[in-house]
């Protein structure tokens, strides 16, 4: 009969190992409410500003989409100046809202000066059929008059 050797933790399995094991598990992702804040601001009777701040990706695009639903005024400005990331899901929401606006004879504009957002809008050609402004005050002057 063989004698069993009892299991004991060695120094390599001590605190350093358990700390590394805890670091390997990523922390839970914040909720969509914490990743993207969306605010509807009725500028006047004919103009709505939808301001977004945070990240627009697959997990958060629905929040933006809900803000762009329903009865909308003659002009809508989508203010993305505080958006640090725009994914394809967010791009689809923007294009869908702009297409709906065109079919209803309304106007839409986008405001952003963030390079990642501008790059995606340009890469997919969105800036060719939706006016993009770098400053909100320029959009507020031009979008309602288009």
Task: Name residue 76's beta-bridge partners.
Answer: 48, 108
Condensed to tens digits (0 to 9), the pLDDT of residues 71-128 reads: 999 999 999 999 999 999 999 999 999 999 999 999 999 999 999 999 999 999 999 9
Q: How many residues does the chain have?
A: 146
pTM (predicted TM-score): 0.76
Would you list the domain boundaries of the chain? 32-145
Q: How confident is the model at residue 7 (pLDDT cuts 50, 70, 90)?
A: low
Q: Is CATH 3.40.50.2300 correct for 32-145?
A: no
Supply the pLDDT for residue 17. 55
- Angle among Cα 103, 81, 128 to the nearest 5 degrees reads 40
Q: How confident is the model at residue 30 (pLDDT cuts 50, 70, 90)?
A: low
């Amino acid at each position: 009969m063989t004698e069993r050797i009892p299991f004991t933790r060695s120094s390599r399995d001590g605190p350093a190992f358990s700390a590394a094991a805890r670091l390997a598990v990523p922390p839970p992702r914040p909720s969509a409410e914490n990743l993207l804040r969306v605010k509807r601001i009725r500028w006047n009777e004919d103009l709505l500003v939808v301001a977004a701040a945070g990240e627009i990706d697959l997990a958060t695009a629905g929040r933006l989409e809900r803000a762009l639903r329903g009865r909308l005024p003659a002009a809508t400005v989508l203010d993305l100046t505080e958006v640090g990331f725009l994914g394809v899901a967010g791009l689809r929401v923007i294009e869908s809202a702009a297409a709906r606006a065109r079919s209803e004879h309304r106007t839409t504009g986008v405001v952003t000066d963030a390079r990642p957002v501008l790059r995606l809008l340009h890469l997919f050609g969105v800036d060719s059929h939706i006016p993009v402004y770098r400053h909100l005050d320029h959009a507020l002057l031009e979008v309602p008059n288009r």
